[in-house]
Amino acid sequence: MTLTILFAAGANRWPLWESPLRRALHQAGIAADLVTEAAPEAVDVMIYAPGGDTPADFTPYTRCKAVLSLWAGVERIVGNQTLTQPLCRMVDPGLTQGMVEYVVGHALRAHLGVDALSQTRWAPKIPPLAAERPVAMLGLGALGAACGEALACLGFPVLGWSRTAKDVPMIECHHGREGLRMVLEQAQIVVTLLPATPATENILNAETLSWLPEGATIINPGRGTLIDDDALLAALDAGRVGSATLDVFRTEPLPQGHPYWAHPRVTVTPHIAADTRPSTAATVIAENVRRLRDGEPLLHCVDRSAGY
């Protein structure tokens, strides 16, 4: 059986994805007609990323059995009432490795005090060992767990927090409001890798930031909505938070006049912490297409009620 697979992820992405997808589908033994245009009623599977030239109404896609997102975050599509097919988010080994490298790099930068090492006078300041620097990992999904385990391998005590109970090797796991306070009260470095949902919006706010030890570092490569920007700026100005490295924002690109750009304790990176890499993600897409063809459970299915 030949499947019609619609690449509905934007014309600008097609040149990057066509060859990796065709190769991965072939290697998986899938007979497929991979196209960028098709009659909606003929589409069996949709590969999707939101954008101006991608579908917003899924009602006409009556034969489509699954929508496979190229993105790890699905907040821009999960609430679409016309999308009744199974929705799978992207959990890609390349994306995960990129996130691990970003988080570990900036955690070590904060831990070693790299930004203060270039001085005009000889004034040695020896940092503590990693074992003396607790890290809070907010979010214990695939990305949070991988980053937490990598930091634990370097000797950092990692305290993990998630909305529901988790058990992750090498990480001391907590959940619930009391668990969040327990984790933040000990954390000298906080990494936020939670999904964007109503329950996680502004999880770092004036109250929760006040729980941190003075001078703690915030690293946010997750979602811009996780942080109350005004509260973080106030905490930075007061010295409650020592520094912040921010990769994601409520408005992107971050407006030129935003206070983050000029703040001496803030490092802005332009949403580069991790990206979906066609070379590795195409294999994930092909595996889900194979599972769909063979009647097996799909990987990384989104729980609509939870929003991720």
253: preceding bond cis by omega (within 30 degrees): yes
Q: Which DSSP helix (H) or strand (E) runs through 265?
A: none
Contact 191, 161 (CB under 8 A): no
CA 182 to chain centre: 23
SS3 255: coil
Annotation says 223 is catalytic: yes
Annotation says 106 is catalytic: no
DSSP strand pairing (87-88 vs 135-138): unpaired
13, 106, 163, 223: the active-site residue: 223
Copy the structure tokens of residue 27.
């290697």
Count of other CB atoms within 10 angstroms of residue 170: 15
Using CB atoms within 10 A of its CB, is residue 291 exposed (0-12), middle (13-18) or buried (19+)? middle
The C-alpha angle with vertex 69 and arms to 67 and 74, in degrees rounded to 5, equals 110
Report the C-alpha gap between 275 and 71 in whole angstroms.
Answer: 8
Radius of gyration of the chain (CA): 21
Q: Which DSSP helix (H) or strand (E) runs through 172?
A: strand 172-175
**Amino acid symbol at 70:** L
Which residue is it, tokens 């007609």? Answer: 33
23, 181, 258, 271: the active-site residue: 271
Query: Which residues does the annotation mark as catalytic?
Result: 223, 271
